[in-house]
A = this chain, B = another copy of it.
């Protein structure tokens, strides 16, 4: 079922005659983009982001603005992207409005210095809000693909993200056809074409993470394609750092808890589908599961990292559904070397499916996500530093936490060499409320908050999760609040609730 491509030139991945006629350079393609346009680009992590056109566009913007222009565009993507996309465009101050997620240092700087409007959206909401017309008009889609079939259908790349929606909603399409992406990706994707706008929606016919509900290709109207740009460049992947001791302790705490839940009959022996956020703690948990007591696991997640590849390789994990392959360079080599094995076990899907509340709730995920800070009542801040500055964005954490069978948030108990306590009296921004947070785990221990009232939650979080350096101060705050607050349900002293944050802003440490 694999398409046979010749490899004489990068353009050989374009088998559709009409689209071969649209082949041009990245600079030529970028020349078709005008100031004020909204662009929907591929990319969910650096995986599958376009490699050439964004950089050509950044050059165009820089040149135009150096000559007195004010060339800016709005940028929609799947999630975060790469330095060649977000980084390049932000560096030339070319992005007016950005959604739905980012993790680029230059973009972050633009946002926090007030030069870029950033709309932080649940990743499962993005596609439908575009379909509903809530976010405005999409002018041009810029999508990386691994190849184009003779009839114009597209072999998706290493991420799917919102590409289906961008291709359907944009007036015009620019395709980057990347011959450095393995042609063997063909057949790994599951693009669901049953979506509709209310009142015409139907149940999504998935009951198991590996049920195929769609097609392996993206549809594309050739008449909308204004440029096809051949490229040959791998995804820019981040190296994997070995888990530190704290992360391994967090992983141990989670695995102990899951064993306890299996013993209590609240989880089946093969658990339930795993969702795991990005980052080193998540990878440590996956490494722990890879040595752990559970077999025949499955994953239903938005990002497949090294840890899950290891688990697929070892056989601990039977299958994994994701919208992005965010592997380290070393893991990518292993993936490529055994791609036929992995194609039987990995499915790549649109993010509206990987993050869909209907599916997350139905399949009953075990959801594990990192956080920036939690408070003693179990509210979680996933996005803001000291209440004002964006770090990355909410991403899929809300989709998963709200709808999961078990919603676990994990964090080191402190950051910045102990100068910040990641558990605070009151979070400076709320992304996940007490209603959506069932378990908080640090290297100190794990607080199972299910069925507890706020003050009970606070006592347990202080006992189990807070770093010893902050324990006494937090207990004292709780007792003061129980004594002096205007109510004892969630006692807070509003003149002291942010004292730790204020101290950090003033002195560089939350410690008194």
Whether the pair A450, B134 counts as a contact (CB closer than 8 A) is yes
Chain B residue with Cβ nearest A74 = B451
The residue from B199, B452, B481, B505 contacting A268, defined by CB atoms under 8 A apart: B199
Bound CA–CA A383/B213 (angstroms): 40
A68 at interface, CB cutoff 8 A: no
Instruction: Flag if A272 contacts B490 (CB, 8 Å).
Output: no
B433 touches A487 (CB 8 A): no
Docked pose: A435 CA to B456 CA in angstroms: 28
Check: A361 CB closer than 8 A to any chain B CB.
Answer: yes
Smallest beta-carbon distance A432→chain B, Å: 8
Nearest B residue to A431 via CB reads B433
Interfacial residues of chain A within 413-465, with CB under 8 A of chain B in the complex: 428-436, 438, 450-453, 455-456
A262 within 8 Å of B by Cβ? Answer: no
B122 A428 Cβ-Cβ under 8 A: no
- Min CB–CB distance A40 → chain B (angstroms): 14
Closest Cβ of chain B to A77, distance in Å, is 15
**Which residues of the other chain, B, contact A436 by a CB distance below 8 angstroms?**
122
Contact of A501 with B by CB under 8 A = yes
Closest Cβ of chain B to A137, distance in Å, is 11
Q: A364 within 8 Å of B by Cβ?
A: yes
Do B450 and A388 touch across chains, with their CB atoms under 8 A apart?
Answer: no
Contact A364 B498 (CB under 8 A): no
Contacts of A64 in B (CB 8 A): none
Q: Which residues of B contact A198 (CB under 8 A)?
A: 272, 362-364, 405
Decide: A386 and B494 in contact? CB cutoff 8 A. Answer: yes
Alpha-carbon distance between A481 and B389 when the two chains are bound, in angstroms: 12
A129 to B494, CA, bound (A): 32
Contact of A455 among B114, B362, B385 (CB under 8 A): B114
**Does A507 sit within 8 A of B, measured CB to CB?**
no
Expressed in whole angstroms, the Cα–Cα distance for A118 and B434 within the complex equals: 13
Please tell me if A390 contacts chain B, counting CB pairs below 8 Å: yes
Task: Assess A430 versus B428: contact at CB under 8 Å? Given A386-B494, A388-B487, A453-B117.
Answer: no
Taken together as a complex, chains A and B put the C-alpha atoms of A361 and B204 apart, in Å, by 12
Structural contact, B132 and A492, CB atoms closer than 8 A: no
The answer to the question of A112 belonging to the interface, with a C-beta cut-off of 8 Å to chain B, is yes
Let me know if A485 is at the binding interface, CB within 8 A.
Answer: yes
Q: Which residues of B contact A99 (CB under 8 A)?
A: 451
Q: Is A293 close to B, CB under 8 A?
A: no
A486: Cβ under 8 A from any B Cβ: yes
Q: Say whether A113 faces chain B, with CB atoms less than 8 Å apart.
A: yes
Asked whether A339 is an interface residue with its Cβ less than 8 Å from the other chain, the reply is no
Asked if residues B494 and A387 are in contact (CB atoms below 8 Å), the reply is: yes
Given contacts A199-B363, A495-B502, contact A114 B451 (CB under 8 A): no
Q: Does A497 lie at the interface of the complex (its beta carbon under 8 Å from any beta carbon of B)?
A: yes
The reply to whether B135 and A430 contact each other, CB–CB distance below 8 Å, is no
> How far, in angstroms, from A357 to B198 measured CA to CA in the complex?
14
| A369 CB, min distance to chain B CBs, angstroms | 15
**A binding-site residues for B, Cβ under 8 Å:** 97, 99, 111-114, 117-122, 125, 129, 132-136, 197-199, 201-205, 207-208, 264-266, 268, 272-273, 357-358, 361-364, 379, 384-390, 394, 398, 402-403, 405, 428-436, 438, 450-453, 455-456, 481-482, 485-492, 494-495, 497-498, 501-502, 505
| 29 contacts across the A-B interface (CB closer than 8 A) | A111-B488, A114-B455, A118-B453, A119-B453, A121-B435, A122-B436, A129-B451, A133-B264, A134-B451, A198-B272, A198-B362, A198-B363, A198-B364, A199-B208, A203-B207, A357-B357, A357-B358, A358-B362, A387-B494, A388-B485, A388-B486, A388-B488, A389-B487, A394-B433, A402-B402, A428-B494, A432-B433, A494-B501, A494-B502
Task: Kindly list 20 other residue pairs between chains A and B, CB separation below 8 angstroms, not including A133-B265, A134-B450, A386-B487.
Answer: A99-B451, A112-B487, A118-B453, A120-B435, A121-B435, A122-B436, A129-B450, A134-B266, A198-B362, A198-B405, A199-B268, A199-B272, A203-B204, A203-B207, A384-B490, A387-B485, A388-B488, A398-B433, A431-B435, A494-B501
The 10 residue pairs across chains A and B that have the minimum distance between CB atoms: A198-B364, A389-B487, A203-B203, A114-B488, A430-B430, A388-B487, A117-B453, A494-B498, A358-B358, A112-B487
